[in-house]
C-alpha cells in the first residue's frame, strides 16, 4: 500500500464501505430511509472553557444549554454549543480545527478573562441521529423528555445515553428532527451500536456524514 493511500485519521466507529474526506476515513454509504445514523467524528471539535457568566460568554453569544450557528471567517460556519456551565463546544467542517481554534482565541482575546481553547477533534466521537422517530430511539436509552416544548431545536444538554456520558444537541436539518451525540472517543463504537440496536425496530439505516 502506498503512503498516500494510508488514512491519516480514523474514527472509533468502523466505516464500511469507506472513503476519504479531509484526511479522514469515513462511511461511504448514502441511506434513503426515514431514520438514519451517521458517524460525524471527522468534524472539527474545539472546547472552550471560560467563566460562566462573564465577558467570554458575551463574546461567544451562546448561553448554557443553547446552540447557535455563526461564521468564524477562515473557519467557516460553525455550530457553537453551550455544552456546560462555563463550557462551549465548537463544531466545524472536517479539516478546519486549526483555523477554528485560532478564530476562537482571537474572539476571546479582548475579554480580559482567563480562557482555554482545546482541540478535541481526535479525542471525541460525534454521531448524528436523524429522523422523525429519533426521539423514540433516544427515549429507550436515556431519561430526558424530548418533547418539543421541553427540548426544542437548538437545545443542548449533558446526560447518560446507554450508560455513556453524552452531550445531546438537538440540531434539526432541513426541518427534520436531528440529534448530535458527543462522547469520549473510547465510547464511540459502543454508543453507535447501542443506537443501532435501539433503532432496529424503526428501520434505522447507517449513512455517511453529511448525507
User: Whole-number mean pLDDT of the chain?
Assistant: 95
C-alpha cell at 97: 480545527
The per-residue pLDDT for 211 is: 72
The per-residue pLDDT for 91 is: 98
- Give the separation between CA 101 and CA 145, rounded to whole angstroms: 33
The values of phi and psi at residue 162, to 5°, are 55, 35
Side-chain-side CA neighbours of residue 105 (13 Å): 10
Q: Which CATH superfamily is domain 3-42+123-207 in?
A: Probable tRNA modification gtpase trme; domain 1 (3.30.1360.120)
Mean pLDDT of all residues in 47-64: 96
Q: Which CATH superfamily is domain 44-119 in?
A: Aminomethyltransferase beta-barrel domains (3.30.70.1400)
Q: Residue 103: is its pLDDT beyond 80?
A: yes
Q: Residue 132: is its pLDDT beyond 80?
A: yes
The per-residue pLDDT for 207 is: 97
- Give the separation between CA 155 and CA 149, rounded to whole angstroms: 11
C-alpha cell at 55: 465577558
pLDDT digits (tens, 9 = 90+) for 32-44: 999 999 999 999 9
Q: Which helix (H) or strand (E) holds 203?
A: none
Q: Which helix (H) or strand (E) holds 70?
A: strand 67-71
Domains 3-42+123-207 and 44-119 agree in fold:
no
Decide the pairing of beta strands 205-207 and 36-39: parallel
The per-residue pLDDT for 180 is: 98
The residue extents of the domains of the chain are 3-42+123-207, 44-119
The values of phi and psi at residue 102, to 5°, are -60, -45
Q: Residue 111: is its pLDDT beyond 80?
A: yes
Amino acid at each position: 500500500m502506498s503512503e498516500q493511500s494510508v488514512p491519516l485519521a480514523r474514527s472509533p466507529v468502523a466505516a464500511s464501505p469507506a472513503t476519504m474526506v479531509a484526511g479522514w476515513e469515513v462511511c461511504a454509504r448514502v441511506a434513503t430511509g426515514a431514520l438514519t445514523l451517521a458517524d460525524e467524528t471527522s468534524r472539527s471539535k474545539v472546547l472552550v472553557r471560560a467563566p460562566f457568566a462573564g465577558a467570554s460568554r458575551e463574546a461567544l453569544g451562546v448561553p448554557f444549554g443553547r446552540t447557535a450557528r455563526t461564521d468564524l471567517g477562515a473557519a467557516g460556519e460553525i455550530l457553537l454549543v453551550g455544552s456546560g456551565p462555563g463550557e462551549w463546544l465548537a463544531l466545524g467542517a472536517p479539516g478546519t480545527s486549526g483555523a477554528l481554534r485560532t478564530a476562537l482565541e482571537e474572539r476571546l482575546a479582548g475579554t480580559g478573562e482567563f480562557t482555554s481553547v482545546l482541540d478535541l477533534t481526535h479525542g471525541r466521537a460525534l454521531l448524528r441521529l436523524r429522523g422523525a422517530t429519533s426521539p423514540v430511539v433516544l427515549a429507550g436509552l436515556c431519561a430526558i423528555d424530548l418533547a418539543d416544548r421541553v427540548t426544542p431545536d437548538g437545545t443542548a444538554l449533558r446526560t447518560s445515553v446507554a450508560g455513556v456520558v453524552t452531550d445531546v444537541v438537538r440540531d434539526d436539518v432541513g426541518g427534520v428532527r436531528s440529534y448530535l451525540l458527543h462522547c469520549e472517543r473510547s465510547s464511540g463504537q459502543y454508543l453507535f451500536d447501542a443506537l443501532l440496536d435501539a433503532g432496529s425496530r424503526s428501520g434505522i439505516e447507517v449513512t455517511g456524514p453529511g448525507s
